[in-house]
Structure 1
Amino acid sequence: MSVKSLGHLTITTPKRDEWIEFAGNVLGMQIGPDKDGVTRVRLDERSYRLEFEDGDEEGLSRIGWEVPDAAGLEDVIERLEKDGLTVTRCSAEEAAARDVQGLAKTVDSSGFNLDFFYGQQKSIEPFISPRSANFVTENMGLGHAVLMTPVFEDALRFYTEVLGFRLSDTLRLGPSRVAFLRCNPRHHSVALIEAPEKGIHHFMVEVSEVDMVGRAHDACRDGGAGIMMDIGRHANDDMFSFYARTPSGFGLEYGHGGLLVDDSEWTVTEIAGPSLWGHRGSMV
Structure 2
Amino acid sequence: MSTTITPSVFGNVHLGYVVVETGKFGDWKRFGREAIGMHLDDMTPDMVRFRLDANECRVLLRRGPAEDVVTVGWHLDDDATFDEISRRVVDHGVPAVEGTDEEAELRGVERFLRFPGPNGLTQETYTTARTSPLPLDIPGSGFVTGAGGLGHVALTTKKPHLVRGYYNHVFDARLSDYIDETINGMKLKIRFLRVNERHHSVAIASVNILPINPIRTRIQHINVQAATLDDMVASYQRVNELGFEMALTVGQHTNDKELSYYARTPSGFEWEVGWNPIIVDEATWKPTTHQGISIWGHTPEGQTVIDKLSQFEAAARSLLHREDTIAALSAPGIADDQLPRPEELARVRAGGR
TM-score, normalised by the number of residues in structure 2:
0.76
Q: CA deviation at 1:83?
A: 3.7
Would you say the 8 A contact 2:249–2:299 is kept in 1? yes
Sort the Cα spacing of 1:227 and 1:94 in 2 relative to 1 into closer, same or farther, 3 A: closer
Question: More strand per residue: 1 or 2?
Answer: 1
Do structure 1's residue 253 and structure 2's residue 272 form an aligned pair? yes
- Of 107, 110, 114, the match for 1:101: 110
Do structure 1's residue 140 and structure 2's residue 148 form an aligned pair? yes
- Percent sequence identity over aligned pairs: 29
Aligned to 1:185: 197
The one-character-per-residue Cα deviations of 1:17-43 (angstroms, maximum 9, x if unpaired) are 111111111111100123250101100
The one-character-per-residue Cα deviations of 1:234-279 (angstroms, maximum 9, x if unpaired) are 0001111111111111111111111100111101001111100010
Look up the SS of the partner of 2:219 in the other structure: strand
Aligned to 2:295: 276
Greater radius of gyration (CA) = 2
Aligned to 1:8: 17
Would you say the 8 A contact 2:70–2:120 is kept in 1? no
1:23-34 aligned at under 5 Å gives the runs 23-34=32-43
- Of 228, 237, 243, the match for 2:262: 243
Q: Which amino acid aligns with 1:214?
A: V
Aligned to 2:237: 218
Query: 1-10 or 41-50: which moved more?
Result: 1-10
Do structure 1's residue 110 and structure 2's residue 119 form an aligned pair? yes
Aligned to 1:204: 223
Would you say the 8 A contact 1:80–1:162 is kept in 2? yes
Look up the SS of the partner of 2:155 in the other structure: strand
Quote the Cα distance in structure 1 between the aligned partners of 2:104 and 2:65: 25
The one-character-per-residue Cα deviations of 1:208-252 (angstroms, maximum 9, x if unpaired) are 111111111111221341111001100001111111111111111
1:65-76 aligned at under 5 Å gives the runs 65-76=74-85
Aligned to 1:87: 96
Q: CA deviation at 1:139?
A: 2.2
Q: CA deviation at 1:128?
A: 2.4
Query: 264-273 or 64-73: which moved more?
Result: 64-73
Quote the Cα distance in structure 2 between the aligned partners of 1:257 and 1:149: 28
| Structure 2 unpaired stretches of 5+ | 1-7, 304-310, 312-353
The one-character-per-residue Cα deviations of 1:84-126 (angstroms, maximum 9, x if unpaired) are 4221133556434533223111112432111111101011222
Quote the Cα distance in structure 1 between the aligned partners of 2:253 and 2:223: 13
Q: CA deviation at 1:184?
A: 1.3
Q: Which amino acid aligns with 2:244?
A: A
Look up the SS of the partner of 1:185 in the other structure: coil
Query: 5-14 or 107-116: which moved more?
Result: 107-116
Aligned to 1:18: 27
Quote the Cα distance in structure 1 between the aligned partners of 2:19 and 2:290: 31
Quote the Cα distance in structure 1 between the aligned partners of 2:66 and 2:59: 17
Quote the Cα distance in structure 1 between the aligned partners of 2:40 and 2:141: 13
Structure 1 segments, 4+ long, off by >6 Å, are none
Look up the SS of the partner of 1:64 in the other structure: strand
Quote the Cα distance in structure 1 between the aligned partners of 2:45 and 2:156: 30
| Structure 1 unpaired stretches of 5+ | none
- Of 151, 156, 166, the match for 1:158: 166
Look up the SS of the partner of 1:110 in the other structure: helix
> RMSD of the alignment, in Å?
1.8
Sort the Cα spacing of 1:9 and 1:93 in 2 relative to 1 into closer, same or farther, 3 A: closer
Quote the Cα distance in structure 1 between the aligned partners of 2:119 and 2:106: 27
What is the count of residue pairs matched by the alignment?
283
Aligned to 1:124: 133
1:257-268 aligned at under 5 Å gives the runs 257-268=276-287
Query: 14-23 or 165-174: which moved more?
Result: 165-174
Would you say the 8 A contact 1:80–1:87 is kept in 2? yes
Quote the Cα distance in structure 2 between the aligned partners of 1:94 and 1:144: 23
Q: Which amino acid aligns with 1:231?
A: V
